[in-house]
Structure 1
Amino acid sequence: MAINLSKGQKVDLTKSNPGLSKITVGLGWDTNKYDGGKDFDLDVSVFLTNAAGKVESEKNFIYFNNKQNENGSVVHTGDNRTGEGEGDDEQIAIDLNSVPANVEKIAFTITIYEANERNQNFGQVSRAYARILNEATSQELIRFDLGEDFSVETGVVVGELYRHSGEWKFNAIGSGYRDGLAGLTRDYGLA
């Protein structure tokens, strides 16, 4: 049975699931009724950071145009441009045992493509979530529902996997960014 997290909660992933190495991180959302005449296109980006929280190489910034890191241990499975339908809108496949040793954190973010030009923000997004599945069994291990705490934000750090004493843990962050992807790349050391 999945562990449901609240914002700010941290939970062990590998210690309580011995032998777990291959996981899928699924992220999903719905958009509210919107009469602005433009489609919503939300994108998942992943930042692989060092202990200081900075991305050391462009290859460690994973998104729809750079679908995997250098050794292929973290892979974006593809861009969903509409968010239509049930289930995960975008997924990231991760082999925890193969993540390079210099990567201490794997941060999962969602941003709205061309949010300012389209006059869109996370106040118009509902039912956003992240979940972690055991790839071998498809069992949902962890789920974090973001709630409706956002209004003017155009980007959200959903959560992060991080190393702690040789094990992987998950931190449910749910922190919004008004300046979307530009703010995220700046804070993760890419700008």
Structure 2
Amino acid sequence: MTISLSKGQRIDLTKTNPGLTKAVIGLGWDTNKYSGGHSFDLDASAFLLHSDNKAKGAEDFIFYNNLIGGNGSVEHTGDNRTGEGDGDDEQIKVDFSRIPAHIHRIGITVTIHDAITRSQNFGQVSNAFVRVVNEESNNEILRYDLGEDFSVETAVVICELYRDSQGQDWKFQAVGSGFQGGLQALCKNYGLDAQ
């Protein structure tokens, strides 16, 4: 049975789902009709964060040009340039058993590629969601629908996965925090210099 979360809510992932080691983080969205002349290209990314909640280098940033990180524990399955169709538009796979001990949190984000040039923002995006699926059983564990809270933002932190205080189990937090400035703003937020 899927658990639906609201912005700000947290839930145990691995403690309440014994045996969960491999999860698929599925992200999806639709774009509203508009006459801007450009198609939308939304991109999912994962930031692997150390104890200070910062990424330290390129190996901690998983996206369409760097598909695998964290010693193979986090994998982006590839860029969907149109967002057409139902279901997940992009997926990030996480193997909790392989995440390096120095990684305490994983930020899952979505940005609009070339948003400024194309005059696009998340106010033109609807039905955005994230869901966590047990990769081995294909059962959906939870879902967070973002709603229509955004207007001018060009990047959104969708959710974060984080270790509990003992460092053994992983939890999920529905974040839904928007940024102006696209990928550069997100990288700066997470301690990386993106040029």
TM-score range normalised by the length of the shorter chain: over 0.9
SS at match of 2:184: helix
Question: Offset of 1:100 from its aligned partner?
Answer: 0.3
Aligned to 2:59: 59
Question: Offset of 1:57 from its aligned partner?
Answer: 2.3
Q: Does 1:36 align with 2:41?
A: no
Matches within 5 A, 1:155-174: 155-164=155-164, 165=166, 166-174=168-176
Aligned to 2:104: 104
CA displacement 1:34-67 (0-9 Å, x = unmatched): 1000010000011000121100221110000000
Take 2:22 and 2:36, find their aligned partners in 1: how far apart are those partners?
A: 41
CA displacement 1:120-154 (0-9 Å, x = unmatched): 00000000000000001110001000000000000
Q: Does 1:9 align with 2:15?
A: no
Letter in 2 for 1:69: G
Aligned to 2:26: 26
Take 1:2 and 1:67, find their aligned partners in 2: how far apart are those partners?
A: 28
Take 1:34 and 1:78, find their aligned partners in 2: how far apart are those partners?
A: 26
CA displacement 1:8-53 (0-9 Å, x = unmatched): 0000000011111011000000000010000100000110001211
Take 1:81 and 1:34, find their aligned partners in 2: how far apart are those partners?
A: 17
Aligned to 1:87: 87
Q: CA RMSD in A?
A: 0.7
Aligned to 1:126: 126
Scaled by the length of structure 2, the TM-score of the pair is 0.97
Q: Does 1:180 align with 2:158?
A: no
Structure 2's unaligned 5+ residue stretches are: none
SS at match of 2:69: coil
Out of 140-149 and 70-79, give the one that drifted further.
70-79
Kindly indicate whether the alpha-carbon contact (under 8 Å) linking 2:70 and 2:99 is maintained by their aligned counterparts in 1.
Answer: no
Letter in 2 for 1:75: E
Consecutive aligned runs of 4 or more in structure 1 exceeding 2 Å deviation: none
Letter in 2 for 1:11: I
Letter in 1 for 2:107: A
Structure 1's unaligned 5+ residue stretches are: none
Aligned to 2:45: 45
Aligned to 1:146: 146
Question: Offset of 1:70 from its aligned partner?
Answer: 4.5
CA displacement 1:100-133 (0-9 Å, x = unmatched): 0000001100000000000000000000000000
% identical equivalent positions: 58
Letter in 2 for 1:118: R
Take 1:131 and 1:104, find their aligned partners in 2: how far apart are those partners?
A: 20
Out of 81-90 and 61-70, give the one that drifted further.
61-70
Give the number of equivalent residue pairs: 191
